[in-house]
Structure 1
């Protein structure tokens, strides 16, 4: 068999590339959650408050308690893993 034919017949497994991309994506998201643990509240868009139905007064957002930020789900996972590791020692 010629060397050119031998290299052409060998193909990489396509699911291995997806596994590497998924792992890199998960590690990137976890790093993002460690650096920036909070995100803007979806209900009030980060303002922490919005107008009451009458339009005269401000009300605090119920979802974020008026802070305008919510903890990311990835940060909750990071904190859980960190606390689990501490309890083992």
Structure 2
């Protein structure tokens, strides 16, 4: 049981390191080419990566979402300051 838990934790740590070091991976839909062939050999730009050939990894997307939520929750409330003649 401990060995299985350790293996899972090592796998997650490895994927987290991969997402931190290389946040973009090749697009799975177009296999990293940026174009797709559809019916009768028609060539189109890949809709998933928009022809950029790379996509944001799922782990990096989760990290970015977590950062956004944390930043929104800890940000001090901004009040509108208006210019006054006297400080």
TM-score with structure 2 setting the length: 0.69
> Separation in 1 of the partners of 2:38 and 2:58?
29
How far does residue 28 in structure 1 lie from its aligned partner after superposition? 1.3
Matches within 5 A, 1:16-55: 16-51=2-37, 53-55=39-41
- Moved >6 Å (runs of 4+): none
Matches within 5 A, 1:9-88: 15-51=1-37, 53-55=39-41, 58-88=43-73
TM-score with structure 1 setting the length: 0.67
CA contact (8 A) 1:50 1:60 kept: yes
- Asked which structure has the greater CA Rg, the reply is 1
Query: Which digits, 9 at most, give the CA deviation of each residue in 1:2-56, with x for residues without a partner?
Result: xxxxxxxxxxxxx12211221121111011011111111122111111456454x
CA RMSD of aligned residues (A): 1.9
> Separation in 1 of the partners of 2:52 and 2:64?
20
Residues paired across the two proteins, number: 74
Secondary structure at the counterpart of residue 59 of structure 1: strand
CA contact (8 A) 1:34 1:78 kept: no
Residue segments in structure 1 that go unaligned for 5+ positions in a row: 1-14
User: If each structure's helix is expressed as a fraction of its own residues, which one has the higher value?
Assistant: 1
